[in-house]
Structure 1
Amino acid sequence: MTHDTPLSPRPLRHLTEVQRRVLTTAQLRAHGVTAAETTEHCRPGGPWQQFLPGVYLLHPGPPTSEERLHAVLLYATRSSLEGPSPGVPSQPGSDGARPPVRQADAMITGLAALTLYGFCCTPPLTSLEKIDVLVPRLRRLRSAGCARVVRTPVLPGARLVTGLPVAPVPRAVADAVAQLADAGTVRRLLTEAVRVSHCEPAAIVRELKQAKLLSRPHVVDAVDSLLAEGRAMAEERLYRMVREYGLPNPVWNVDLRLPGGPCLGGLDAYWPEQAVALELDTRAPRHGVQQEDDAVWSGYARKREHLERLGITVVHITPKKLREGLEQQATVVRTALMASADREPAAYVVVLPR
């Protein structure tokens, strides 16, 4: 009997090709294959092989990358033929983003997930000795074979990539970094995640912090490079927004100061005639210290309140908003500029290059 042989009493027509080649003990039993028959088919030289505990390949040769991924998910979920199956074609949304799927019991994460997302700096699936699979913390499941179990208190919403449930990029990056000791590899991984617009730096830093990885020196160095890369990209989008949507040219990267008084803080852009200030909000948790994060946020809030008391409108824009809705953010800025005509004149401030 091979994977081409119909199993009774239920046919395999509703399964994809890879699902016909990789089945669990429960799925085989549902098709009338007894444990004794499964054992017989898996003897040396037989037509089948046991790939993971309770998961079988219905052919004797080495598994393909697709079969390995499918087998790992089956091992982690033990799904039945009636349950959710990781073989549904992906249907990207209209904005090109991969849509979230209904809550999965397990999902591919780590380097395998990033390779599925199309990362260039990750190894091909065929060269990965281990495939990381993310499961709830309380699941009674051990790593086995090529399946490395990664636990989490709360499963994130999975993304569907090539028909498989995959962890979101920030979580997959954190799980990959947890297994890496080479500083250059970590830096390349984080840089590509931001440079190719997979996600924002702050999202990655939050996951690294939650995974308690920000105490590792080589990770901290990579995060510093990541945040610098993310800010440079956000600034470039900001310049493009002003240029492409016909906004008045501001003065860039300036400090404001009261005449003869203290510095009011730095701004990414300022329109003196309209008294409109723009600040890129690139806050991200750093080094796992909550007090430092709170201090950064308090500094932002105090500066904004002070400027607004002086009659200066402050527009905060995040890198994510610039990436996902450049036109919408241009409208926000234009509205603030137009509204200046209806406001009381702002206090006089000195504008200095930063």
Structure 2
Amino acid sequence: MGKSGGMNHNAPLSPRPLLRPALSDVRLRVMSTAQLRAHGVSGAETNARCRPGGPWQQLLPGVHLLHSGPPTSEERLHAVLLYAGNPSPRRAAHTVPAQPEPGEPHGPGQQRIVYGDAMITGLAALTLHRLPSAPPLLALNRIDVLVPRTRRLRSTGFARLVRAPELPVPEQVTGLPVAPVPRALADAVAQLSDTEAVRRLLTEAVRGGHCDPAAVVRELAEAQLLNRPHVIDAVESLLAEGRAVAEDGLYRMVREHRLPDPLWNVDLRLPGGPHLGGVDAYWPDQAVAVELDTRAPGQDLPHGDDAVWSEYARKREYLERLGITVVHITPKKLRDSLEQQATVVRTALMASVDREPAAYVVVLPR
């Protein structure tokens, strides 16, 4: 049905097919001025409907809620993405025909929203990633949205813009572009001053398997947050938590993949000679050691990570000169490819029969 020339501003838009499901689909309950114009609703008509007492309301500049009640948390998320992803009419966030995602209802006229390069970050993103201590979305006065540094928009209302020279690849959560957990953590921590709140979020991210400590510390370092005492305290707890999680993964690898029991957490030393260093697991009969690589980027020096890695490399080279095979395993590998890591260790154990006997070393508890 065509547009009615003498349409009352308070009349429903039911004749327009695309707007008919507005109450059932959040993507059609929140629309930008550009989207509405594309559907035949003029700017004057939109302004009239958003007047006090009208059927619509303006949530953010250029973003409208097509009902008069308070916005839901989902509507607020869509609104900030439409606002931040709408820098100019030429690059306005828009709707395109889409195939439904699994389990998603799909009917005539349903559209997929393209938000440009904006993505949810900060505490709202952590809530969407389901970190237990992240606050409910409706409890957030502001929703952080990550945009390119060159974006010519200001924070306004409940939309707080976070700018970055380079954007991470967003993850799709409930159909929305959301910053990966390490980046979302850095953006959240930038707004927090409570040591316990920061520590809890960082610990939950690692304990829940969302990311590795190294990735979190790297983002915190890039955001220049590692000079704040409460963040440093939280990072120390994070690294301890990360090592505990990695050690659990190592125990599980040995148990579930039926590897021989090693000596756990031991120091190696030459008889009457120097200390060679500690390892997380050691099989003395095969002279095979496993070392967890739980290092994080250096907090104190720009090249601190290089120094730490050099120490790892020196120890590994020294042990291998003595005939000891050293297998380095990262927490990420234990989390993502446990069976593959078990195969690497098993192969090293089996290969020991073809190697020259290793030098005798003293094994001490660590």
Structure 2 length-normalised TM: 0.89
3-state SS, counterpart of residue 58 of structure 2: strand
**Which of 65, 81, 85 in structure 2 is aligned with 1:57?**
65
Higher relative contact order (CA 8 A, sep 6+): 1
For residues 119-268 of structure 1, what are the structure 2 equivalents within 5 Å?
A: 119-268=131-280
1:11 corresponding residue in structure 2: 18
Mapping of 1:66-105 within 5 angstroms? Answer: 66-78=74-86, 79-82=92-95, 89=101, 104-105=116-117
Q: 2:342 and 2:136 mapped to 1: Cα distance?
A: 40
The Cα of 1:117 is off from its aligned counterpart by 1.0
Partner of 1:94: none
2:213–2:238 CA contact under 8 A, matched in 1:
yes
Aligned-partner Cα distance in 2 for 1:132–1:188: 20
**2:60–2:79 CA contact under 8 A, matched in 1:** yes
CA RMSD after TM alignment: 2.2
Q: Which residue of 2 aligns with 1:297?
A: 309
Deviations 1:166-196 (A, max 9, x none): 0000000110000000011001111111111
In 1, Cα distance between equivalents of 2:15 and 2:165 = 39
Contact 2:147-2:163 within 8 A present in 1 as well: yes
Q: Residues 2 and 59 of structure 1 are in contact (CA less than 8 Å); yes or no, is this contact kept in structure 2?
A: no
1: CA distance, partners of 2:258 / 2:274: 34
* Secondary structure of 1:123 counterpart: coil
Q: Which string of whole-angstrom CA distances, capped at 9 and with x for unpartnered residues, describes residues 212-247 of structure 1?
A: 000000000000001001101111111111112111
Q: Percent same amino acid at aligned positions?
A: 71
Paired residues of 2:262 and 2:283 also in contact (CA < 8 A):
yes
CA distance in 1, matches of 2:206, 2:59: 36
Alignment check: 8 A CA contact 1:111 1:132 kept: yes
Could you tell me how far 1:20 is from its partner in structure 2? Answer: 1.4
Q: Pick closer, same or farther for the CA change 1:274–1:210 going to 2, 3 Å.
A: same
TM-score (norm 1): 0.91
Query: In structure 1, what residue type is equivalent to 2:190?
Result: A
CA distance in 1, matches of 2:228, 2:179: 23
> Does structure 2 conserve the Cα–Cα contact (< 8 Å) formed by 1:103 and 1:158?
no
Separation in structure 2 between the aligned mates of residue 2 and residue 319 of structure 1, nearest angstrom: 59
Kindly tell me: are residues 131 and 2 of structure 1, through their superposed partners in 2, closer, same or farther at Cα, counting changes over 3 Å?
farther
Distance change in 2, residues 1:276/1:23 (3 Å): same
Kept after mapping to 2: 8 A contact 1:55/1:71: yes
Unaligned runs of 5+ in 2: 1-8, 87-91, 104-113
